[in-house]
Structure 1
Amino acid sequence: MTTTSEHPDPRVPVALLGLGPMGHALSAAFLAAGHPVTVWNRTPGKAAGLVARGATAAGSVAQAVRAGRVVVVCLRDDKAVRAAVVPADADWTGRVLVNLTSGEPAQAREMARWAAGRGAGYLDGAVLTPTPTIGTPAAAVLYSGSGEVFAAVRETMAALGGTAAYVGDDPGTAAGYEVALLDVFATAVNGVVHAFALASAEGIAPQRFAAFATGIGGLLPEMITRFGEQLAAGRFPGDRSTIASAAAGIGHVVNAAAGHGIDTGMLTAARRTVDRAVAQGHGADGLARLAEVLRRGGPSVPERPAVSSG
């Protein structure tokens, strides 16, 4: 695929490898935008609905790649991507591989090297919104890799709808955003379910607890923005809350949960970070300082056992 055209064909042929829920949604969006679409899936039988809407089912990865100028892959993980594309006797010359499979930054960089060795352009992408948003204004996808390649396929990828944000020429950057955002989600969900378990152990009805918990959740957007500003500036004022005060609060939660036999693994990990920050002399700093403590590490501190009140 030529990557220097200022006026790319709006009906670029697209090949889609992988027809899980997200792959199916991506294929449907390309079809709705008028692109010739060829689809392949390791397990046969998932393409029928798309074929009825105008897609072509490929019998092999090589056949799908041959049909597409932009080849979008959306599989379970990096291992599945490699199992599909590496053994395939496909001609990648002049094509663009857009990898929308969730993975790790190092894996994205390695796939970019693999694609370059076969004459293909490469973009790594992170889909940040669920399948129902694909093809709508609510969709959000991050892309990283060659800026020239992104410019060449931007109009084609616009079929997915919403926001298409280019985040840099390092192929691993989009995956870096994704894993960090998944970190927010995973730890937040763990915190929510852990809190419900603790509240229930204390005899608090879930619905009544939820009414107050949503208020706590409402504090996060402003806090995230403020932490970002403080980390960028390297200044961590403790005017709202300090690490030392957080140490006391986490201790109360750990002790209360342990008293009910509720797992405290994530909380004790958080307390270790807080204790390390205090040991490094940051007790009077604001909580954003903890991100630097985590990234830079430092001497560990003795584990504090939970104190049961029972």
Structure 2
Amino acid sequence: MNILYLHGLMGSLNPEKRQIVEKYGKAYAPSIPYQTNKECISWLYHNYKDKNIEVVIGSSLGGFSGYYLSRLLQVPALLFNPALANRSVTQNIPEITNIHREPMHIILGAKDDVVNPKSTLQFIAEHFPSTQNYQIQTLPELAHRIPLQTFKTSVDQFFTTLLTNNIPKKHLFLDDIRSADMVYEPIFSNSFDVVRSYEEFVKYITTFGLPDFISFDNDLGLDTNGEVALDGYAATKWLIYESGLDLSNLQFAVHSANPVAAEQIKGLLNNYIKFLNKK
């Protein structure tokens, strides 16, 4: 798991806290120029959008940045005393239009005299979208700085909850628009996890391994540059030639409305599975 840690205005990730974070994955902890760069959120996004970041952790001004960055990256976040309402340095907030449903855990110190917890709670009440999945924990004795034991307890609880809730389902549905219940009966469709792009498909299987059943669409719309996105056939080729997984027992279907593309995917997978089972 790749974890992005965002420090506060004058902070950094010390070795003790890094060790706690790296219990759960590789920690990226960049030095962030808050005082000289008003576009730190965009700067962080462009530097880490291709690093397969799966969790954002931030403290104070890093918690502020982490809130918006987790929405841009569509990943869970753990935020300590995030400076959401007010900041001592100017930072521009990029436009974010996507819906963020990943879990967000916010730790507030009741004795914080730098980031007012009441202002943070008011900001959350007024600005968090109704679709946001968030949990707030206020610690009565916590001030602005996060002691090592508090950090460890919070990080351990966050990842325990996250990993428990992220046990993958056994069926995967690849389609850029449709939901599984538009193709399969409800008794079956509820067992699917849904991925919308080639990149999400690769990330899912790299993270969770091979599902018992995959349902492929072919046409996956446009990418962020307005170009035709890598399609279901490309996902099939990645699965066969690059994933390194044993596909000999893979069950699959193709629900593409394009009959030519559907036959390409079926033919490639069927022939490869037959080849494996003849060995």
Q: TM-score, normalised by structure 1?
A: 0.28
Instruction: Mark the structure with the bigger radius of gyration.
Output: 1
Greater per-residue helix proportion: 1
Greater per-residue strand proportion: 2
